[in-house]
Structure 1
Amino acid sequence: MSRLFEGFSSRLDEIAAGYTQRELALIVGFLVRNCDALQVSALELRERAATDKRSRRGDKGDARKKKEKG
């Protein structure tokens, strides 16, 4: 499997060679925080979508429950 990524890995090494260790650490820090922010935002969107979906169902869901009981 690693042979599949040899070209990509070599290109990343070439790119990284143009940066100092301190610069690379800064870039990694940015990317990690960016990924964390994206995950939090995705979770918020998912929760908001679920809430909106429940709100749209609202009375319809209650009417079904009453119909099933009655």
Structure 2
Amino acid sequence: MELITKQYIVDENNRKIAVQIPIEDFEKIEQLLEDYALFHLMKDNQGTELLDQTDAETYYKQLVKND
């Protein structure tokens, strides 16, 4: 597993209140979370109506626009 380079932001009492990470790391994390969620969504919907690839891509693009 890769280490994430991070910088902590602290308050006046030196308590950690936030963290900064490189945008590349954030984008990797974001992609991993999306893939994980998609996997579980697909797993939870086994046995339901299946879409062909074109219909699935159209549906996914619609979901992304609504975010």
**TM range, normalised to the smaller chain?**
0.3 to 0.5
> Could you say which structure has the higher helix fraction?
1
Normalised by the length of structure 2, the TM-score is 0.41
User: Greater CA radius of gyration, 1 or 2?
Assistant: 1
Normalised by the length of structure 1, the TM-score is 0.40
Higher relative contact order (CA 8 A, sep 6+): 2
> Could you say which structure has the higher strand fraction?
2
